[in-house]
A and B are shown apart, each in its own frame.
Chain A
Amino acid sequence: ENVLTQSPGTLSLSPGERATLSCRASQSVSSTYVAWYQHKPGQAPRLLIYGVSSRATGIPERFSGSGSGTDFTLTISRLEPEDFAVYYCQQYGSSPLTFGRGTKVEIK
């Protein structure tokens, strides 16, 4: 299976700062089959990005995705207070679909 490694494990930043989250796949991901989710404790996970760079409905423009092959990035241009959460990447280019272990973005 395609193992996704997210880094860093925890990112400590202040509101207004830029967040750059990495997701590295053990095998090249077919086409643009990468998604990103935001998850806050006790809440349902929320789809942010699909197809590497397409924002889901209602997702603010400060969230953007990029990458290809084995290296993918989620960027939050300016952190808002509600953005502090855990973020997961997912690949769906090969079976089984797999998720990373997450990056926690915490308030510094």
Chain B
Amino acid sequence: EVQLVESGGGLVQPGGSLRLSCAASGFTFSTYNMNWVRQAPGKGLEWVSYISDSSSSIYYADSVKGRFTISRDNDKNSLYLQMNSLGAEDTAVYYCARDMAVAPYTYWYFDLWGRGILVTVSS
């Protein structure tokens, strides 16, 4: 089955760190560019970060730049998001999402999403 499954979420104190993982299955992970998208409570979706198939191109939203690091391991079919210096504004459900295009192209819309994982930043 073609799917993405996020893990690693939970409750973390302000200023703390957390590492999210996204396990891909059912498709050739190494040929797709990947993203993280989040949704804070009561708000819309917010794009967080992008990584190309070979990790050669990486982009971040201004809101997380310098605090979050996206990475991937194509041998393990996995995407990661290392989140540091977390604040209440980072509380959200985090989704991993696949770009619809097969690399080297990028379409910037997403044809496969995970169900999301909740990250709560609170003392």
Cβ A45 vs Cβ B44 within 8 A: no
Task: Kindly count the residue-residue contacts between A and B in the assembled complex, taking CB atoms under 8 Å apart.
Answer: 53
Q: A42-B115, A47-B100, A50-B100 given as contacts; is B110 within 8 A of A99 (CB)?
A: no
Q: Is A63 an interface residue (CB 8 A)?
A: no
Contact with B along A35-60 (1 / 0, CB 8 A): 10100001111110010000011000
Q: B4, B47, B97, B107: which contacts A50 (Cβ < 8 A)?
A: B107
Q: Is B75 on the interface with A (CB-CB < 8 A)?
A: no
State the interface size on chain B (CB cutoff 8 A). 22
- List which B82-123 residues lie within 8 A (CB) of chain A: 95, 97, 100, 107-116
Q: Which of the segments A12-20, A64-72, A74-82, A89-97 contacts the partner chain?
A: A89-97
Whether A101 touches B44, Cβ cut-off 8 Å, given contacts A33-B108, A92-B107, is yes
Contacts of B62 in A (CB 8 A): 96
Q: Write out, one digit per residue, whether chain B residues 24-51 have a CB within 8 A of any chain A CB (1) or not (0).
A: 0000000000000100000111110000
Kindly list 7 other residue pairs between chains A and B, CB separation below 8 angstroms, not including A47-B111, A99-B46, A101-B44: A35-B109, A43-B115, A47-B100, A50-B100, A92-B109, A97-B108, A100-B44
Q: Which 3 A-B pairs have the closest CB atoms?
A: A92-B108, A101-B44, A99-B45
